[in-house]
Every structure is written in structure tokens, then in C-alpha cells.
Structure 1
Amino acid sequence: MNQIIENELDKIIRYSEKHGQKFTREKAFDFLTIQYFCYQTSQIEKIWFDIENDNFTDGKDDGGIDFAFFDEEDGKVIIGQNKLSETVDRNKAVSELNKTIKTLKDFEKKRVQDYNSRVRKNVQNALDRLTDETIGNIEVVFFHISKFDEKKTRECLLDQDTVSNIEFLDEKSLEELILKIKSDIQLVPQHKFNLDESKNYLEYTNNNKEGVIVNINSTSLIDAYNKYNSEGLFNLNIRRYIRSKTVDDGINQTLNKDRENFWFLNNGLTIACEDFQLDGNVLKLFNFSIVNGGQTTTLISNYKGSNTEEFFVPCKIVKSTVSLTDSERMNFFNNIAEATNSQKPIQPRDLKSNSPEMIQLQQLLEQKEIFLEIKRGISAPKKFKKKIRNDDLAQILFSFVNQKPGTARSNKKSLFSVNKNYISIFRRNYIKESSQASFLYDLIDLNERFNTISSTLKGVEKNALNSEEMNVFSNGKMIIFAILGLFYRLVNHDLDRNELLNQPSLVEEHDFIYASFISNYKKDDIEEILENLIIEITSILTDCYKTEFENNKVTSISNFFKTDKKYTDIIIPFIIKRYRIETRWIEFISPYKELLLRK
């Protein structure tokens, strides 16, 4: 097996020993695929708890499902089937995948009693996060290290309508994914490409950029792939590693039978570089990376058919004509990558990235050394003490302020695509109203502290929560922020508990009062107090969930936390009833009251 994959498996096994376990290589392979394909990180320690508790399902009676993962970015469920064996043939792959599809069919029909508890919990949690707009968006990925005909395997599968897509990732593809994620931004130092003919290019220049469009010979493109595939050729391609059957089949069909028309049928490549030189029919590139066209390049270079005829690929070359610092250079490359990578789906948040309110908000937070990421692919400079993505900020605001944690969790895209939601979150007077700005700083600080507490609670030695409470906590961040927002109103007497019991929807109708709160607390035990409050809220939510589950009103934690209606109609009344007696409420809230009092 590939040495890179072997090294990663060894690392996971060593880390498992720190948790009092000794993973087999098969189980380590399960963790490896989740780590790199789903979480896209080289730091296994940061996501260990989430994989073990929320994703991993492999074992007896797993129904052919080794993991389940909900991809928030694309609003889809990813189901993994892993085979760490070199003896898997087509028949075995078909059998395993048909088993996986049958299991998903059983979940659709609520026939899940024969599956292990991990499968029932984690698969149901993932499926329950699909919204009305994304229902049925399920991708099955088969990870393997064997050699079999993937196309014929796909053709033999049954009931493929149960899922939206079936993908295969072999040993080489997994290696490429690992290398891409582990590597620092490394560029190809130099390479020569052969062109169709001398002086056949289109050039364009402005004040700070220069570019040419040329036609690259397929053989020299394959040569670059073979030499630099794992050494920077795609390091600036910001597109997530996803293979599309439709696109792949189209390119392969052209490679097989219509190479003379490849130039007309393909969008070609975009390459960002520090410098280029044209010398007759030779293009020399220096410190470069393909920023768009990775899929095209990979398919051309890995083509295994019999057609060896050379052809030409359209290619745009871009460089900066002004001197750049290292940071400016990477921003330049990232901007080119972001602008040209048309295969990466445009998200609603992308369409707002250049809006005046987003830029102003970024500048406002910068004054407090908080980096607001408003464009994907732009990393926070080291000078910033805190950082937060604009979609994460939208989620916690919509939960804490708007009291809609179900929407914040299950339909994050709507916070940018639904105009009413977007206006209520971002088009406020954060710039002009100091009280609103102070509130925003404190909410981001609360988020940072929550994330730290989350890491602590998920640590090896911390046992403040039992397994059921941990399941609630892992899925309940938005609900917890909504409850913190509820308590914020109650301790500041914006709402009356008795009125709220009779009319829980008041939390949505009430005009929110923005002001500083957590920064007003000056004692040095803030982390301990906040952690205790979060643990208390988690315990309350667990009791509420158990009641609903035992009465067959919910199917999973995700289902329980999915909608705003369940929060308003079930969770809020449960909390108010528990602390309806004034002395009980005072006893509960007194240790935490100062954290939420505003000035």
C-alpha cells in the first residue's frame, strides 16, 4: 500500500492509544477517510471526538455503512463504505454497495431495528439535517485500494435512485487528497510547455497584471502532471476534491473519440504564476500553479484508453506586473483562483462577499483585532487575535438574537439567500451604533469561548457530560446560543417568564436590545462560570429530548433540533415550566446572571 497512506494510518493508530484504544488498520482507515474527505484537515486531534461520536458507524450490523457525515457547505449527506484490502473485486464492491443502498432504503422506510446503535444514531442524525430543499441529497463514496472496473461496478448496482450520487476513491486519489491538504502552499518552480505554433497567442495587460492565452500541447501537460502532481501543481486550486461522473464521462468520451475537437469542447485551464516567457512555440512558467482545470488535467494525465493522438488545451496564464510581498503574492494567487474556479459551486454567502455592509463590518471588527472572513479561501493574517467566518457569525446572530436556531443550523444558506434574514442579520447599525458594535464584539467573544469549552468537554479526561449529554451538546450549538439569548432577555427583564409560557413566540416578536454583556464581567472565573452554564443548558436539553423521544415525537437529536418550531413550541416551554417558581429560577440563574447583564 502507498507509503503516504501507511504513515497516516500509523499516526491515527498512535493517537488512538492516547485514548486508551488500539485501532486496527481497518478502523484507522475509516478515520482517515472521514478526516481527509469530510473534514478536509490534517489535524486528526481536532476532530477526533466528532468522528468517533458523530460519524463513525463501522462494526457488526452496520448495514454496509462505515460512516455518515453531513456536509453543511453543499447541504448533503455523505455515506462512506471503506475497504482496506487489495483483493476487492467488482462483485465484492457491488455486493457491499448494494448493502449500503438497501440500508438507506430501510432508513427511508423507518425499518432500522436490525442495525447497530451507532448506525441508527449517526445516520439518522445526518439524514435529519436535510431540509425540504435538499431531501434525497445523499452521496455514497466507496474508498478502496484495489483495482476493479468502477464504471462496470456502477452499472451493476441496484436501486441507485435511493441516492443522488455514487463515487469511488481509489488509493491514488486518496493519496492526492492527503498531499493536497497536508502541503503548505508550494508552487512548481519551473516548467516548459510546448504550444501549437510560434506567436499564436492573445495577450492582455493592465496597470498591475499581465496575461496571455495559449494552446498547450497535451503531452507537455501530462509531463507536468507526472512531475509535479504532488509538488504544487494544484496547490492553488481552491476547489474541494470532488469528482463528477457527468463531467468525467464527457471528457473521457472526447479523449477516446474526438480529440481534434477537445479545444472547442473544454473550458481549458487557468494558471497563476510569478513570471512567464514565450520563446517561439515554447512557454516557460516560473513559480506557478493550476488554479482552475485540475479535473481536466487529471483526467487527461490518467487516461488509460488506446487513443494517443496529441491535441491542444486552451490555457490562460496570469501574473502580477508589480512587486509583491509574500502575503500580497498569496492574496493575488488566491484571488485569481477564487475568480476563475467556476467548477466550485457558488454559495449564497459568496454573492454577498463584496457588499458594502460586509466590507464595512469586516473593517469594524478589524479595529478589535477580529478577522471576519467574507471570502472563501482568504486566510486570516497572523496579526488578528480572533477570527470568524461570516456564515458562522450569521448563525450565532440568528440563534441568539432572532431566536431561530433551527434555521441557523439546518438552512444556513437561507441566512444569505433570503433577503429578510440577511437584512435582519447584517444590515444593522453596527457601524454607527456603539451599543450594537459592543454587542457584536461580545457575541464573537462568547463564540470563541464556547469553541474552547467545546474542545475541553470533548477532551480525553473531561467527563462532565455523560454520553447522551455529549450527543446533545455535539449537535446543539445553535440551540444553546438561542437559550443563551433567551436568558439574556430574561435577566435584563426584556421578557416576562409567565407571558412567555403562555406565548413562546414572543421571543421572535420582541425587539432585541443590543449592548455589551460578557465584557462587563470583570472576575477571573469567567471560563469556569460559562462552562458550568453550558453544561446546565445541555442537561436541560437532554431531559427535554428524552421526554420527546420516549413519546415518539422525534427520531433523533438532529430531528429534535431541526426546526424553529420545536425550539419555540417545545424547548422554551420546557425551560420556563422547570423554572416557573421564582425562587427556583433565582437559584438557577444567580451564578450566571452577571455574564448576561448588559450596560
Structure 2
Amino acid sequence: MSQFHLGVIKNYLVETFNDKIDLKDYEGKSEHDRTNAFLTRSVAAYTMMALCDITADEAGASVTDGFGDNGIDGLYYNQKENLLFLVQSKWRNDGTGSVDRGEIQKFLLGVRDIIVPRFDRFNEKINKRSTEIDQALRNANTNFMLVLAYTGQSDLSTEVEKDIQTFLEELNDSSDFVTFKTLKQSNLYHMIAKGAQGDPIKVDVAISNWGSIEEPNKAYYGQVAASDIAQWWEEYYPRLFSPNIRMFLGDTDVNDNIVNTLKNEPEKFWYYNNGITALCSTIKKKPLGGATREYGIFEVEDLKIVNGAQTAGAIAKAARSNTENVEKAVVNIRFIQLKDSPEVFEREITRNTNTQNRIEKRDFVALDPEQERIKDELKLHGINYVYKSGEIASSNEENFDIVEATVARACNQLEIDLAVQAKREIGKLWDNIEKAPYKKLFNASVNSLELWKQVQILRAVEEGLSEKDYAGRERLYAIHGNRFVANLVFRELYEILAKEQSSMITEEQLNLIKDKTQNILQDLIIIAEEKYPEAMLASLFKNLSKCKEIHTEYVKRQNAQ
């Protein structure tokens, strides 16, 4: 890289973001200072435009750089993907160096203050986005992408890399919801050289055990290294994917299973995963590898994945922390050539490959005869219980489904373990209907009317958490700590409530539950803030060891009263 490449970056930023970057705070300052501020902020804007697939106007409006930015120069929440982007940018006129330790530590502290959140530590630009940030923090599935973009040529120092890694390990103690991406001069130049949307993606891909179809449309299929998919993701996301399909959804039951398989059983990944469907304008086999179908190198033009975004995203996520294991995995893939095909063909492939029925873990619950017993018993009392996918609950209040039943049973346990699992990944509770934890929740001893009462108690807890006008971090406790609170409500009130013979809880009981819920929430906040004042609450209540510690302390204090 050189001053020529820096000049290309500068010219692009000036042309793209002229009049789109707020520089009011630089009025009256020197032209040199105004230019540097514009370029630094434009680097942040371009980073968000390229990674978030937004317009230059949207990206410019998402710049937060200025006095009191707390190290965060850009912020954008991608609601479609539940992904909050936080950017720090640095313009280096000489094109050398990277980012010093003090700058990166300021950025990481700013990220902490966003997560808590502490809006009083931020400038007006970030405070104007507080509703957007709050929306991201309230969503338990939100992931964070931290991006450092700078125009120096050097890599980050070992000390800076260690600071970042330590920060990520601390935050990602329950799940990998925070990732860090670095874009230096060479990365920015290549991204800009390809255009914001990018030239068509061209790759050479090694396919093993490959086959082909010639009619009516040419296609190749076989196995590719999972590490290749991870590399595509890192280099070409988001334009790797067709714009009319779902993007990566983050921590879902299915995606967590994909990541866990790659981490723990990579050699079995091919057996467990359905694979990826990709479209391309052309695909040609290269001479390398000869005529054997065991292995071939193929040149693929205008690559787009139309089915398998979750697989690709999960592979990339696993590769960031378990590179060696991901390199052991292979994935099924098929490349369908669009050359000489009707225009409608691409849309039809995309639509049909994304509308197939998928078996969820909860579907296997239908094989348990105890579920049908519970349903039949409740039907005699006019209560509708739905445990099969596709069944529709009636419109009256006296109905519930397998999800509510599972959460209620998980929360109505002496220990906190299953309540945490219900919050973190409820599908794990349905993993195997022949053994625990499922058998602990659903077995022949489960009384159907008691189950219905437990669901009503769970609903009352949710009412108690939602009816008060909580704000700030207290509000986040009410959202993310709901299963924890429910466990404590069951622990303290269930014996009293279970004595009532009626299948419905009374108005008096409802008020008792809501009052108890609100009191427990306040006690929980006091203890959790003493122990984990900096915690990201969406992550804290998915962390079993930390929840056990808080739970033990709560019980100890209650017993001491």
C-alpha cells in the first residue's frame, strides 16, 4: 500500500460523503482540522455503509464522532439481523502506523458504557440514538460487531490485540455475541476498489466428491471445506447473500447447534447439516485435479448464496474461536449456473429453497405420549393445550402451548439451572424426550391442571414485570431477568398458591404474584449490581455460573431475614 492507495480512499470518501457528514462542531476551525475531521468521520461512515449495506445518507447520519463520543465514532443497529455495529475510525494522513493502546482502550470502555448503558457519559449524537440502542439491548438475540477502521498500513500491536481478546473473552462468557473486526488501509482500499456494492464475487473453490447436472440447467454439487465458507463470509459479507433472503439470525437454537457441532464434532458436520445452495453466472472446472471426481478446482463467477445463510454465518462464527476444528469440517453445497436460464429462474430457486418446512426440536415432543395425555385431560376442563407444530390455539385465554408449559416447568424448580437454560436456549430442554432435562419437566407425575396453574403464574410474573414503567438498566433487568425472577416467585409462593383447588388463579393471587415479582426484581437488581455492575444483562442471565452465584446470595439473604 502507498500514498497512491491512500489518495484513492480519500477521493472516494470526499466524493461519496460530501455534505453528508456533520461538521458543525468544527466551524471556525482551520481547514486542516476540518478536513481531518471529515475524513475520520467518513471512514466510519464508509465502514457502516459497506458492512451494513445502507446508503451513504444513512451512514453519514450514523456518525457519532465528536467531543464526548467515548471512543465510538459510528453506531448503527441493523434490526433485520439483530446486529449493533459500533465503529471507531482513525484517519492517518501519512498512511502509516495503526491505533495505539490508549485509543483502543477508550473505545472498549465506550462499548462497556453502551452495554450497561450509561448515556450520561456520551455526547448528544449518541444520546439521540438512545431509543435505537435501547431496542438493541432489550433484544436477547442482539449481537454486537465492533469495528476498528484506520488508514495506517500496520497491524495492531501485540498489546492491543491482547486487550481486545481479553475484552471479548470477558463479554462472551455465555455465548459469542460480540465480535471484533479490523479494517486497515489495505482492507479499505480493496473494499472501495470493488465498489460499495462490490463487483460480482469471483472465487476459485475446491469441491470434493463432486458431480454435475447438465439439463435443464447446469449445476455442480459436492463438498467444500467449511473453512472456505468462513473465508467467503469474512471477505464478502453481506453482499455474498441474495438481498431477498434472511440474513444471519445469530443465537438461535438451530445456529447454536451448528456452532456446537463444529466445535465439538467437526467430522460429523456433513452428516448433520443440510448444506448450502449458491447461484452463479457461470461455473467452470479447471484442469487442475484431472478427470477424477474425487477433487476438482472450479472457477465461480458472480457467487451468491440463496439458501444457507444460517449455516454460513454459524460456520464463520465458529471459525473465529475454533479455527482448527472448523478446518476439519466439510459442508454440502450446490452451485446452480444462471447463464442461458430464464430471468424468473433465479427468483424461483430463491423462493423455493427458502420455503421448505423445517423440523424443529419441539416437533419431536409430539412423540411423547405424556403430551397427548396432558392435552386430553385439559380438554375435559375446557382448556386447550397445543404441543404440535401447526396446531392453532383458540382465541380465549384458557389455552397455552408447549413453549409456555416448558418455561413454567423450568422455572418451577428449586435450583436456577433449568430457568437459565430456558432463557439461553429452550430447545436444549427438548433435546431428548427419553431423558433429563426433558423427563424432569414432563413425565407421568405431571398433573395437567397444576401445569395450567403454573403457566398462569408465569403469565402473572410477566404482567408484574411489564406493568411498571421501568427505565434504563432497571428495565433491562425486567426483560432479561424474567426467568430468574419467575424461578424465585415459584420458590416463594408456589406451595401457597397450589393449595387452592381451583384451576384458575384468583384476582387476589394475581395481585400477590405481581407484588412479589416487583419486590424480587428490586432485590435481584441490588445483588446483581453488587456482583456484576458492568455486565451485559442479555448475556448475564444466560450464564449459569453467574446466575447460580446470584441465586445463592439471594436465598442466603432471604433466609437471614
- Give the TM-score taking structure 1 as reference length: 0.42
